[in-house]
Amino acid sequence: MTSAIESLRSDHMTFSIVATDGTAWGVAVASKFLAVGAAVPAARAGIGAIATQSYANLAYRPDGLSMLGDGRSAQATLDALTAADDEREQRQAGIVDGAGNAASFTGSRCHDWAGGVTGDGYAIQGNILAGEGVVQAMEQAWLATDASAPLARRLLAALSAGDAAGGDRRGRQSAALLVAQADGGYGGGSDIHVDLRVDDHPRPVEEIARLVDLHDLYFTKPDPSAMLEITTDLATELTGLLSALGHRPSGADLDDLGAALADWAGIENLEERVPQEPKIDPVVLEILREKAAAAHS
């Protein structure tokens, strides 16, 4: 199952959290390592999530997801992966399965400080850390998050806490955040809801946080309860704003206005925030006003 060819032979020092809220599964990770997101995380909606690190064995990702998909628990999957790996004592991994069971493994030859913790729905682990306090800070931050908040935000809170507690004692370089949920991808065409990576940056966790904000802006569906009815006055304003930006509605009814708004939103990458009904997201309205004002300045 596992071969030397499939194993990443770099000394991969990392801290990560693997977790689920019952509807989404994900991983947040940071390291003094180039492009950590290309090596550590894997997730599949309803199946589970995996982090493989410390001389990371990349075969753990497809093999582990396959085992989880066959119904094995997180612990049984981790036991099978490490049992088949001759280099297991150099490995570190965390897994959460579809039911929220968690498991973490730290080989005896991982560089200090190395270790992990698990709880209901989460596994946190790291190696070559500033100390055990990194993992403890991550766990405390995770447990303090609002259970109803988006998983990406909860994972980010834990990762940020680990970073603030010292993180990888060699320094900072990269970070990544991966979340899978059913139909969560762009346009509903996949289960990859969030896949953000900072490959080389002096403050990668801060940069991941900035990217999460942008992801929320461009890809989060608007809150139906916050949508604004397009009144006569608002329709007049929208017509003027869109016209100022070169998207004048072709007619005077709401369908024409909606088509012009959708055309502009598509160019601005805001199409996920434009509903079919004659309403407007206040976030989109504010951006439209700012763009129109800038066009006149």
Q: In terms of pLDDT, which residue wins out, 188 or 152?
A: 152
pLDDT exceeds 60 at position 2: no
- Per the CB < 8 A criterion, the answer to whether 262 and 274 are in contact is yes
| pLDDT at 4 (0 to 100) | 38
Over range 116-134, report the average pLDDT. 96
Reported as a pLDDT band with limits 50, 70 and 90, residue 6 is: very low
Percent of the chain with pLDDT over 90: 85
Reported as a pLDDT band with limits 50, 70 and 90, residue 10 is: very low
For the stretch 171-215, pLDDT in tens is: 899 999 999 999 988 888 899 999 999 999 999 999 999 999 999
- Per the CB < 8 A criterion, the answer to whether 178 and 27 are in contact is yes
pLDDT exceeds 90 at position 221: no
| pLDDT at 13 (0 to 100) | 64
| pLDDT at 8 (0 to 100) | 40
Those residues whose C-beta lies under 8 Å from the C-beta of residue 159, and which sit 6 or more positions away, are 15, 16, 17, 28, 29, 30, 138, 175, 177, 205, 208
Reported as a pLDDT band with limits 50, 70 and 90, residue 11 is: very low
For the stretch 241-271, pLDDT in tens is: 999 999 999 998 999 999 999 999 999 999 9
pLDDT exceeds 70 at position 7: no
For the stretch 31-41, pLDDT in tens is: 999 999 999 99
Reported as a pLDDT band with limits 50, 70 and 90, residue 297 is: confident
Over range 37-60, report the average pLDDT. 97
**Domain limits, the chain:** 14-219, 224-296
Question: What superfamily would CATH give domain 14-219?
Answer: Aminohydrolase, N-terminal nucleophile (Ntn) domain (3.60.20.10)
Q: What amino acid occupies position 94?
A: G
| pLDDT at 107 (0 to 100) | 97
Whole-Å CA distances, 204 to 48, 163, 275, 280: 25, 10, 34, 34
Which phi and psi (to 5°) does residue 102 adopt? -125, 150
